[in-house]
Structure 1
Amino acid sequence: MKSHASTLLAEVRTFRQNHPDVRYVDLIALDIPGHFYGKRYPIEMLEKVAAGSPLKLPQNAVLLGVQGGLFKIGDYCFNDGDPDANRRLVPGTLKPVSWESQPLGQMLITSDGTEAPIEFEPREVLAKVLERLQHKGIHPVVAFELEFYLFDKKLDNGLPQFARDPLSDDADDQPNLHIERLSRFGDVLDDMAQTAKDQGIDITVITAEIGPGQFEINFGHLDDGMRAADWAALFCRSTRGVALKHGYRASFMAKPYLQYPGSGMHVHVSLYDGAGNNLLAAHQQQPLRHAVAGCLELLPHCMPIFSPNHNAFRRLGGTVNAATRASWGFEDRDACVRIPESDPRNLRIEHRLASADANPYLVLAAILVGLEHGLEAKREPIAPLNEDRSSGTDFPLEMLDAVRAMQHQPVLRDKLGAEFVDVYCENKRQDHLAFQQEINAREYRWFL
């Protein structure tokens, strides 16, 4: 514990030496809907926290709805006295914030690893899954891919406007995959990539996607699943900030345009043993088939995680590469679970169902639980789409049905935690019911 504090203290002091103009640091964590909450600390106080002083925030901050309100969930929020809960600093995450008007820093905080972790904190949920897999000798390697849209900074009566082409000053309203779009929007994209790298995120491929003003960013593969999810969360925060600085609005909203493709969160996962052998490739890839079967079996029960809001369900079906049934296939982007072509060493699944605005910690936790369940159950999957284009099993396409499917699923309650499942489902149910009280413009106001 003492060496841990020494490491954190050294990190803070080094940061202060390298960034003497930074007076405040945002201490941030992701809540259930996938928004950052936290506090802005003077840098001097951060040194005290790093040295061992308590860091406490309200436990129920994790339970906030999409619009920041509190819902009655069991005894939480209104019958528990709104208690504080301990948080800790996440080593290695203290980085400069370059998109604000004043010099700032930011650092991740979490309850996982404290004496009393918050059972429904997304990072804690993933931490438990990763710890259990490690005890079983299973070591995931993970890479996220995130799609997003650029819009004009100003809304038109609450509705998004196409991003302005910097060369012509015309609206970028033509969907395409042209490489020239990367050049036309090069200034903002380069700044997004460099800012992400300054946060310690390994940015690899940048793609102009099919929708107007739509792009995809790929991250490097990591043998630390938690860090991979951290990257996805932090990238969303920095990308929004950089876009505003350049006069744009960046959004990870799942389906901003009905007529154009939605934005997804694609997650690549491979599993290795302690000796570095790819577990999915053993025995003529039989474990791969079992893992796929487990993912597909649990997928209909994880829909509130993969499609976390009303708008996210709009993304499913009707456009390019967004399935409406649980399916799999080799090199098939219509499948929920795609097996990219690779050598046995790099054999992996690509889980393509989650929307870009889903919570990355929970998405990865749900995927890993599916893989774990499949390896344990050792069942054969349904036929891949390569053999049968109609292959697939139904999953809920509406939030209340999805919540019912998730809440009492025994594998999820066991492997994600019953308390988390109950809290998460009620949070989603209440958010959905609140959203139904108003239509049209709110869909953009909440998720844009």
Structure 2
Amino acid sequence: MKTPPCALLAEVRTFRQNHPDVRYVDLIALDIPGHFYGKRYPVEMLEKVAAGSPLKLPQNAVLLGVQGGLFKIGDYCFNDGDPDANRRLVPGTLKPVSWESQPLGQMLITSDGTPIEFEPREVLARVLQRLQHKGIHPMVAFELEFYLFDKKLANGLPQFPRDPLSDDADDQPNLHIERLSRFGVVLDDMAQTARDQGIDSTVITAELGPGQFEINFGHSDDALRAADWAALFCRSTRGVALKHGYRASFMAKPYLQFPGSGMHVHISLYDGAGNNLLAAHQQQPLRHAVAGCLQLLPHCMPIFAPNHNALRRLGGTVNAATRASWGFEDRDACVRIPESDPRNLRIEHRLASADANPYLVLAAILAGLEHGLETRQEPIAPLNDDRSSGTDFPVEMLDAVRAMQHHRVVRDTLGAEFVDVYCENKRQDHLAFQQEIHAREYRWFL
């Protein structure tokens, strides 16, 4: 439902009153690879947009590859005249930007009027609308892992972050809480900046990798807003890290010898009266939902592991699944069931990499839950009963794309147009990545 122009206009005017030094506002949206694109608007022009003036950006900006280039995808990009598409402001997202050298604001935008079928936020919105019509209301919380690096690269390679107390490299993998203190200044700034953006950030954990941390977000009954939080946190965290002399990265597997960074998503499902649907009938719907998740998981791998590096993360290290599996209180499973009371019974989907697109990850998980609740099939054995339980999923990008593009349920639940566009985008990105000879090839084959 659209917010009335008067409410948006009031939001912009209140922002201007509270932040009179801000002259420009970045209007931003997430593209298919998970990067923000948009325009920097003078704040006085933003008032006109809020009052109803059209806001247009090229439709094909959503289709950018990882490196920002355009690929020929069907008739898009090169045979369609590069048309503009209407966008609208997302209410409640106009916030100050504190990590830039000059005072700025930022605000999310999304499709307006005729939706862009392959826009990530629109894909999730369609899934949520369908669930709402069925009386299903998700409660969602994201968890994101990330690494800190030294600001300077060494021959293009990341360096361990310098411990601000000793000036030594933080090169020891551990879970010690003292690391939260040693990097407390930058971590506190990241958390406070997230809160300033309206993000309900909660627990911070020192993870196993050197310079690796995890941030948790509060549970939200607005699933779109929960995905907004995950996307905006990545943007603000990179900016805050640079301000403090570090690099922050959500790259899935920056070090082969250390754990990768994941995106964990907690989801409960409620009816209109607030009853937990997964807990009904001795938790039988939970089993159906798990079965649906596991059935669609191998066909959504380009979403959960969207690039060559993300596929490196799967298997071989701590708590990274190698097959589609589930279990109670088991972090080796793709789908974990945390211990909880019936009111808070939920799944934790642990497969996605931290650099995956949060809108698409959530859409794919919800599509799996929906499929399971409708087909009412029993899941495979949990890892608690059989440590070898699980089904294979593709770990090569071209195999993953083929498994996704022609799967009927994935096309029906996420949209056939989106699936075709997304799969071709991933295929072209993969082929472009291959078009470079690395030094290792000369060492091995010259």
TM-score past 0.5 threshold? yes
Secondary structure at the residue paired with 1:325? Answer: coil
Runs ≥4 in structure 1, deviation > 6 angstroms? 441-448
Aligned to 1:85: 85
Distance 1:328 1:399 in 2: 23
Give per-residue Cα distances to partners, 1:258-315, cap 9 Å, x unaligned: 0000000000000000000000000000000000000000000000000000000000
Distance 2:33 2:438 in 1: 20
Cα deviation for residue 353 of structure 1 reads 0.1
Give per-residue Cα distances to partners, 1:394-437, cap 9 Å, x unaligned: 00001000000000000110110000000000000000000011
With structure 2 as the length reference, what TM-score do the two structures score? 0.98
CA contact (8 A) 1:316 1:324 kept: yes
CA shift in 2, pair 1:374/1:34, >3 Å: same
CA contact (8 A) 1:211 1:261 kept: yes
Distance 2:387 2:220 in 1: 33
Cα deviation for residue 180 of structure 1 reads 0.1
Give per-residue Cα distances to partners, 1:153-182, cap 9 Å, x unaligned: 000011000000000000000000000000
Secondary structure at the residue paired with 1:38? Answer: strand
CA shift in 2, pair 1:159/1:79, >3 Å: same
Secondary structure at the residue paired with 2:318? Answer: coil
CA contact (8 A) 2:3 2:91 kept: no
Distance 1:445 1:369 in 2: 46
CA contact (8 A) 1:256 1:444 kept: no
Give per-residue Cα distances to partners, 1:96-127, cap 9 Å, x unaligned: 0000000000000000565xx10000000000
CA contact (8 A) 1:293 1:374 kept: yes
CA contact (8 A) 2:143 2:217 kept: yes
With structure 1 as the length reference, what TM-score do the two structures score? 0.97
Secondary structure at the residue paired with 1:158? Answer: coil
CA shift in 2, pair 1:332/1:409, >3 Å: same
Structure 1: stretches of 5+ with no match in the other structure = none
Distance 1:363 1:444 in 2: 38
Distance 1:51 1:446 in 2: 62
Q: How many residue pairs align between the two structures?
A: 446
CA contact (8 A) 1:311 1:443 kept: no
Cα deviation for residue 146 of structure 1 reads 0.1
CA contact (8 A) 2:121 2:359 kept: yes
CA contact (8 A) 1:291 1:374 kept: yes
CA shift in 2, pair 1:193/1:406, >3 Å: same
Cα deviation for residue 441 of structure 1 reads 8.6
Match of 2:145 among 144, 147, 152: 147
Distance 2:400 2:113 in 1: 31
Secondary structure at the residue paired with 1:147? Answer: strand
Cα deviation for residue 438 of structure 1 reads 1.9
CA shift in 2, pair 1:62/1:28, >3 Å: same
Distance 1:397 1:49 in 2: 45
Identity of aligned residues (%): 92
Structure 2: stretches of 5+ with no match in the other structure = none
Distance 1:82 1:438 in 2: 29
Secondary structure at the residue paired with 1:387? Answer: coil
Give per-residue Cα distances to partners, 1:63-101, cap 9 Å, x unaligned: 000000000000000000000000000000000000000
CA shift in 2, pair 1:191/1:384, >3 Å: same
Aligned-pair RMSD on alpha carbons? 2.9
Distance 2:131 2:261 in 1: 30
CA shift in 2, pair 1:161/1:92, >3 Å: same
Cα deviation for residue 2 of structure 1 reads 9.5
CA shift in 2, pair 1:216/1:3, >3 Å: closer
